Amino acid sequence: MSKVKNLAINYKTAEEFKKFREYGAQELHMIDELEANVIDANIDSPFYGIYQGDDLAARMCLYRREDTDHPIDNDTADYLVIWKLEVLEKYQGRGFGSELIDYAKSFNLPIKAISRFQNSRNFFEKHDFDAHEYDIERDLADESLMWYPN
């Protein structure tokens, strides 16, 4: 059974996110919405993670994107996007990153992975993600790699 859980959007999650290097506009927006009480408890969170006891050890953002205006290629207008995939330093080396990727692959859709750092790029390449043709309309500032289901 996968250890990967869809993360609840609440103050505990918001606090745990502060431990991750890629913390920014998206997390701050989440806190604003919590404070304004506009979050429906049943909302689908785009965050997935692995807990060790009470600690969030690893996380990623995983989002389905349907973009017929700017498809990846002629057959790929519906795909997942991964970003903010990160394992906290004290939990590295246990395969948590691979578990997150396998979870994303289990949806059997193409995946675009946005990698900010060279080491995350290497990580995705090890998991069968490849460079794809850059397109300014679609990719703009993204450094990204693609994976396709068989």
Residues that bind its own copies (CB under 8 A): 24-26, 28-29, 46, 61, 63, 65, 69, 81, 83-84, 114, 116, 131, 133-134, 136, 139-144
> Least separation, in Å, of the C-beta of 70 and its own copies?
10
Q: Which is nearer to its own copies, 52 or 76 (CB)?
A: 76
The pair of three-digit structure tokens given for residue 90, joined into one six-digit string = 């004290």
Q: Which is nearer to its own copies, 3 or 121 (CB)?
A: 121
The pair of three-digit structure tokens given for residue 126, joined into one six-digit string = 């090890």
Q: Whose CA is closest to 87, among 124, 49, 116?
A: 49
Q: Which is nearer to its own copies, 81 or 87 (CB)?
A: 81
